[in-house]
Amino acid sequence: MWGGGDYSLHTIGAKHVIDNTGELALEALDAIDVAGQAGSFQLADFGAADGGTSIDLVRRIIGNVRARAPSRAICMTYTDLPRNDYSALFNLVHGGRPDVKSYLEEHDNVFVYASGTSFYLPIFPAQTLDFGFSATAMHWLSRLPGRITDHVHAVGASGEELEVIRGHALADWETILLNRALELKPGGRLVMSNFCIDEQGRYLGNTGGVNMFDTFNRLWRGLAEDGTISEAEYQITAFPQFYKTVEEYCAPLTDPGSVVHQAGLRLESAQTRVVPCPYAARFAEDANLERFAVSYVPTLRTWSETVFSNSLDAARPEQERRDIVERFYRSYVDLVRADPTGHAMDYVHIYMVVSKV
């Protein structure tokens, strides 16, 4: 992800997704006996990036807990990978961004922490977490288990290559859930919104118009064909991501034979929703092609750039790598500028509420 607070500045769509979970999160919170329990209320955001996209949801959750348990201390823990930009996160939460109003200004007895432990590992001691949420993060796999030779994403993989990634992704999902099953208090709740393949086969950037991942692939392939990057660099490029179907998301939580179910996690609800690409929506209103082309591609770039730049041979000088990546995204901007029809990164998510028995 981009650091320095740039992540949330360029991902207003991701914020819309989180704001969308507000009602679900408050309903899930209502099922917790917030006032009747001793000790602090432990709240977590798994895969928080710079915390900017979840700040208003956290405000609503804290407001709800505070109203029901006025004297209870609230601990908010942001979790992400070790390389996440935690300085940007703390700067934002502690009021250092003039464009963001932090909940810390509104409530006292609220304590903010961060953990750089992956959600593939235990993050909290057993049975200490009251409420966890996570948005748009758990499609990142623990690792890429194999190659995708003729595409850059699992959505374009096929045959044996696809099955290897699918098997790994399902095992990863089980690991995430088992760790949360350990951490949650009995009666605790998890609210998650994750990228999925919905009932109509739609997924991020593939909702009927131009397929975003096919576009990435075509432009990256083009750089291999014109000799800018090597065939080996093209072949090694793949997002360590997987978009599960609704059934794949729900099975471990509904099948009494699964280890996750046996560990006490239950599915309370699951629904899919499409959040329209805010950049395409604005373009539909103002028809400002230049603004669309130069704002749409950077939102894709926030989360995809590292995948392309890390696939380039480490022996290339730093500046050369930067130039190649720059040229790649410029070609995407040029493509949109030449014909904007159908370009949009609509967000396709599954929204799940999970309880611990």
Ligand X SMILES: C[S@@+](CC[C@H](N)C(=O)[O-])C[C@H]1O[C@@H](n2cnc3c(N)ncnc32)[C@H](O)[C@@H]1O
Give me the residues that bind ligand X (CB under 6 A), please.
Answer: 1, 11, 14, 18, 47-49, 53, 79-81, 84, 118-120, 135-137, 140, 303
Min dist. Cβ of residue 161 to ligand X (A): 22
Q: With respect to ligand X, which residue has the nearer C-beta, 119 or 296?
A: 119
Helix axes 289-310, 212-225, angle to 10 degrees: 60
Please state the three-class secondary structure of 335-350 as a single string: HHHHCCCCCCCCEEEE
Going by DSSP bridges, is the β-strand pair 129-135/110-115 parallel, antiparallel, or unpaired? unpaired
Q: With respect to ligand X, which residue has the nearer C-beta, 53 or 102?
A: 53
Q: Which residue is nearest to ligand X (CB)?
A: 47
Q: With respect to ligand X, which residue has the nearer C-beta, 58 or 197?
A: 58
Give the residue ranges of DSSP H helices in the chain: 6-9, 12-20, 22-30, 55-68, 86-93, 159-183, 212-225, 231-236, 246-254, 259-262, 278-286, 289-310, 318-338
Q: With respect to ligand X, which residue has the nearer C-beta, 118 or 206?
A: 118
Min dist. Cβ of residue 304 to ligand X (A): 10
Min dist. Cβ of residue 287 to ligand X (A): 28
Q: What's the gap between Cα 40 and its chain centre?
A: 27
Residue 19 to residue 48: CA distance in whole angstroms: 14
Q: With respect to ligand X, which residue has the nearer C-beta, 278 or 340?
A: 278
Min dist. Cβ of residue 134 to ligand X (A): 7
Residues 6+ apart with CB under 8 A from 155: 197, 203, 206, 213, 243
Q: Which residue has the tokens 């611990």?
A: 356
Min dist. Cβ of residue 290 to ligand X (A): 26
Q: With respect to ligand X, which residue has the nearer C-beta, 102 or 223?
A: 102
Min dist. Cβ of residue 89 to ligand X (A): 10
